[in-house]
Amino acid sequence: MFCQLFFVPRRFTRATLALTIAVQSAAVQPLSAGERVSSPQLIGIAQLEGSSSDRSGQQDKLINGVPHNRLGGFSALEYSGKGQRYVALPDRGPDDGATGYECRFQVLDIIVNPEDSPAVKTKLVETVPLTNEQRLPFTGDATAYAATAAHAGRLDPEGFRFHSSGHFFLSDEYGPQLMEFDANGQALRDFTLPDHLTVRHPAGTKDSENALNNTGRASNKGMEGLALSPDGKQLYGLMQHVLLQDGVRDERGRPVGRNCRLVQVDVATGDVREYVYQLDSPTNGLNEILAINDEEFLVIERDGLPGQSAKFKKIMKISLANATPIQNPGQLPLELPDTIQPVAKEVFIDFLSPEFDLSAEQIPEKLEGLTFGPRLPDGRSCLVVASDNDFVESEPTLIYVFGLQTDHEG
């Protein structure tokens, strides 16, 4: 069921990237209008070793000794729209922002054939830096509050979605920020998000940042997931956990609650509306969101436990059809009033279900990437899920491929 990562020759140039990504990001939807998905079947799992290197060409080591070109830490996965090409987005780097990891994304091919052995293969194609308008690289350093002559400031990339223009959108957990980039990884614009989502006093550690703020996202629990509507007109940013003002503090000053925010942003106007996603447990978190159609989405909800200790590793199917936008979004009560209807949700994939027969080693702590891929040879839809190994050398990145049955509404 496992396969190894294969490499192609390094081609770390922006000119090459324009061909690698921009041409591949045409407006090709893996699902057709009105399609619904059901009956997930695990096709196979690819494994990228934790010691693998990317194609950045960086030979230095970070302050903690981890090679700067370490491949891993995938927080998002997105299909390009053609062929077998995908983008995997690492987050801010190892050790929770304690290093000066330069932000980037990885271009790779994920080749799926259920008749082959292994059924899933991967090939790394390119590594692309994320830069500001002056082409300075963003850094994962949690203390890099402002741009310098060497870096563009701090960024914790978490969500990634292609637009039919060839550009892509990215969600950042530090701000949170919602940003648009060109195909070469250069930032073009920031969307204006409501003040109640952001913290007034950023800090370099999680506990200190939570202690300094009464409102905004909890530290390291910001805009973790990102979806784009099939027509490309609406973005949906998913907060990983409750806002500081929406929960009660535990003994470490972290907010506890169940009412997470789903933030809808109009791509053209920037208009914002918010919905409530209720966690099954206050100890769970949210990691990714993927649009099925204009009203239905897939969402990763999970606990923070690996292997045999894991209790909750699920992909939920949610619907906005009867959900009510939050009218007074500054603060949510712990118990929602009748005037706020959260999104409806049901289990779509339970990674702990016996039907998938996953071993403890195949159940990582973090499931974070989620995208539809190209149709399988038998016509079924393809769903691809990626784990985040936190750049740990001894932990592989796992890429799961599921086949899905599809039908049309009505």
pLDDT tens sequence across 278-328:
999 999 999 999 999 999 999 999 999 999 999 999 999 999 999 999 999
Q: What is the pLDDT of residue 34?
A: 72
User: What's the pLDDT band for 408 if we cut at 50, 70, 90?
Assistant: confident
Q: What is the pLDDT of residue 35?
A: 78
Residue 92 corresponds to which tokens in the numbers above? 């801010």
Q: In sequence order, which residues have a C-beta less than 8 Å from that of residue 383 and are 6 or more positions away?
A: 37, 40, 298, 370, 371, 372, 373, 401, 402, 403, 404
Q: What is the pLDDT of residue 17?
A: 52
Look over the chain and give the mean of its residue pLDDT values, rounded to a whole number: 93
pLDDT digits (tens, 9 = 90+) for 64-99: 999 999 999 999 999 999 899 999 999 999 999 999
Distance CA 163, CA 346 (A): 28
User: What's the pLDDT band for 409 if we cut at 50, 70, 90?
Assistant: low
Distance CA 386, CA 85 (A): 15
Distance CA 70, CA 88 (A): 13
pLDDT digits (tens, 9 = 90+) for 257-270: 999 999 999 999 99
Distance CA 104, CA 186 (A): 11
User: Does the pLDDT at position 204 exceed 60?
Assistant: yes
pLDDT digits (tens, 9 = 90+) for 20-61: 554 344 444 677 667 788 899 999 999 999 999 999 999 999
Residue type, 98: A
User: Does the pLDDT at position 18 exceed 70?
Assistant: no
Distance CA 262, CA 157 (A): 17
Q: What mean pLDDT is predicted for residues 341-359?
A: 98
Q: What mean pLDDT is predicted for residues 122-137?
A: 97
Q: What is the pLDDT of residue 36?
A: 82
| 167 in Cβ contact with 191 (< 8 Å) | no
User: Does the pLDDT at position 16 exceed 80?
Assistant: no
Neighbours of 243 (CB within 10 A): 26
DSSP state of 22: I
Question: Which contacts qualify for 259-262: CB closer than 8 Å, 24 or more apart?
Answer: 259/332, 259/334, 259/336, 259/342, 260/286, 261/197, 261/326, 261/329, 262/236, 262/237, 262/238, 262/289, 262/343
| 152 in Cβ contact with 136 (< 8 Å) | yes
How open is the CA angle 270-372-39, to the nearest 5 degrees?
A: 125
Environment class of residue 295 by beta-carbon count within 10 Å: exposed (0-12), middle (13-18) or buried (19+)? middle
| 91 in Cβ contact with 73 (< 8 Å) | yes
Between 334 and 170, name the one with better pLDDT: 170
Torsion angle of C-alpha atoms 401, 363, 287, 171, degrees rounded to 10: -70
Classify strands 74-79 and 85-90 as parallel, antiparallel or unpaired. antiparallel
Q: What is the pLDDT of residue 29?
A: 64
Distance CA 284, CA 298 (A): 16
DSSP state of 307: G
Which residue matches tokens 């998000």? 193
* CA-only gyration radius of the chain, Å: 20
User: Does the pLDDT at position 231 exceed 70?
Assistant: yes
Distance CA 167, CA 186 (A): 10
Q: Name the nearest CA neighbour of 12 among 119, 129, 103.
A: 129
Whether omega before 118 lies within 30 degrees of 0, making that bond cis, reads yes
Distance CA 199, CA 213 (A): 6
Query: Could you give the domains of the chain?
Result: 5-408 (2.120.10)
Q: What is the pLDDT of residue 21?
A: 56
Residue 209 corresponds to which tokens in the numbers above? 């940042």
